[in-house]
Structure 1
Amino acid sequence: MENKFKVLIVDDHSVVRHGLALVLKRGCDIVSISHADNYEDLTIQLKENQDLLFLDISIPGGKNLKMVEDIRAEYPKLLIMMFSAYAEEHYALRYIHAGANGFLNKYSKDEEILTAVKSVINTGKFISDVVKEKIIQNTLHNLPINPLEKLSSREIEVAELLANGEGTIEISNKLNVQMNTVSTFKSRIFDKLGVNNVIKLVEILKIYKN
């Protein structure tokens, strides 16, 4: 790829798109920057021979991992940088495995963003220190990329009910188990996934549950 390149920023928040565009314009040699705020617009804009895609995980009409797989299949040479507020340690490896070239947190400093862009353009990938550490830990301890693989079938069932807003009493009645058993399952699920509330549990299920 030449030094000058075309960028497409996809996020449903205008302030994020324009803020990122300003950072890129100041530090990179760019031909053009296009914007999209939903998956339908994204597919239209990609037909304009984009070089680098900044893509938020959650966009209207998008299907998280599936949309990355679909984009990669149709545009094998496109550089895809996931740009998300979600924690890298929970999401980055899964998206890189799906076909993204890198994962960048929205709270990154300007210089970190520019370093990531230069890395993905020059080498075809960007791996942050957080993700590198995650890869090392997964390799050393033989941990799965998908954290849900750590859960038993029953724990998955309870996790989905919790994510759907079911309380301890409702889950106890639905699964025909004691309430203290449900509480035990909930504690195990939170511990295995490294979360401390249902909101974070919902985020993990949304990303990793096929």
Structure 2
Amino acid sequence: MSGRVRVALVDDQALVLRGLAALLADMGIEVALESADAALVPGALARRPVDVVLSDVRMPGTDGIALIRALRERGDATPVILLTTFDDSSLMLAAVEAGAQGFLLKDASPEDLADAIARVARGETLLQPVSLGPVRAWQTAAAPALGAVRLSEREIGILRLVAGGYSNKEIGRSLHLAEGTVKNYISELLLKLDCRDRTHAVLKAITQRLI
């Protein structure tokens, strides 16, 4: 992606909204839209599209997860990163099921936030690691079918790095593999796990204790 990343900010707290806007502007990220009311965002984005939506997850009325559902129902695929002050795996799962591309704790560093926005704008998914107890207890309708899945040590290692939010290039550097080779591994993992994206592959692997 060339040029500055354009972001929409959504938070019901005015001070947080202004603070985030100033922080992102300082890092060279364009804030094209600010809203304290998530219900107004889908209509606003239809008039002023952005590269990434950055939204609080807990808000009165329309919360961050409801916002994602509203966008997807309109056919708007704008990637969304949800911010939360709570280390809550159930929220992460709900966000992923709704179609979120990123989930980040609010105590993340400015550099981590900027990196998350850049990655999601490039089409990646990013989940900041959170407590995995509730995730491991989560059962999906497809879970029983995973009993026959067999992953190699290399595939398991790659999945663990994906779970940590590493890009293909970073995974390749860590495992001394070409970036294209990592991409091929991940494509094969998506097929084996019957998942549409990296995030769902990680969550499904966690529920089956594969990683």
TM class, shorter-chain normalised? Answer: 0.5 to 0.7
**Aligned 1:163-182 pairs, distance under 5 A:** none
Look up the match of 2:206. none
Could you tell me whether the CA contact under 8 Å between 1:10 and 1:37 is conserved in 2?
A: yes
Task: From 144, 154, 160, give the equivalent of 2:139.
Answer: 144
SS at match of 1:129: coil
SS at match of 1:81: strand
**Aligned 1:105-120 pairs, distance under 5 A:** 105-120=105-120
> Which whole-Å deviations, capped at 9, do the CAs of 1:79-125 have from their partners, x for residues lacking one?
10111222242311220121111111122221121121122122431
1:126 offset after TM fit, Å? 1.2
Could you tell me whether the CA contact under 8 Å between 1:7 and 1:53 is conserved in 2?
A: yes
Distance 1:97 1:8 in 2: 21
Unaligned runs of 5+ in 2: 141-211
Could you tell me whether the CA contact under 8 Å between 1:88 and 1:104 is conserved in 2?
A: no
Q: 1:35 to 1:96 in 2, by over 3 A?
A: same
Look up the match of 1:38. 37
Look up the match of 2:3. 3
1:64 offset after TM fit, Å? 5.2
Distance 1:115 1:88 in 2: 22
Distance 2:93 2:112 in 1: 19
**What count of residue pairs does the alignment treat as equivalent?**
139
Could you tell me whether the CA contact under 8 Å between 2:102 and 2:127 is conserved in 1?
A: yes
Distance 1:142 1:43 in 2: 33
Unaligned runs of 5+ in 1: 146-210
Could you tell me whether the CA contact under 8 Å between 1:17 and 1:35 is conserved in 2?
A: yes
1:23 corresponds to 2:18: no
Runs of 4+ in structure 1 deviating by more than 6 angstroms, as ranges, are none
Greater Rg over alpha carbons, structure: 1
Look up the match of 1:101. 101
SS at match of 1:83: strand
1:76 offset after TM fit, Å? 3.6
What is the aligned-residue identity percentage?
20
> Which whole-Å deviations, capped at 9, do the CAs of 1:6-37 have from their partners, x for residues lacking one?
2110101111111111221122343x432100
The normalised TM-score by structure 2 is 0.56
Q: 1:33 to 1:13 in 2, by over 3 A?
A: same
**Aligned 1:152-163 pairs, distance under 5 A:** none
> Which whole-Å deviations, capped at 9, do the CAs of 1:166-195 have from their partners, x for residues lacking one?
xxxxxxxxxxxxxxxxxxxxxxxxxxxxxx
Q: 1:72 to 1:7 in 2, by over 3 A?
A: same
SS at match of 1:55: strand
> Which whole-Å deviations, capped at 9, do the CAs of 1:125-159 have from their partners, x for residues lacking one?
112233xx739x84xx56337xxxxxxxxxxxxxx
Distance 2:103 2:84 in 1: 8
Distance 1:17 1:77 in 2: 23
* AA aligned opposite 1:103: F
The normalised TM-score by structure 1 is 0.57
Which structure has more helix as a fraction of its residues? Answer: 1
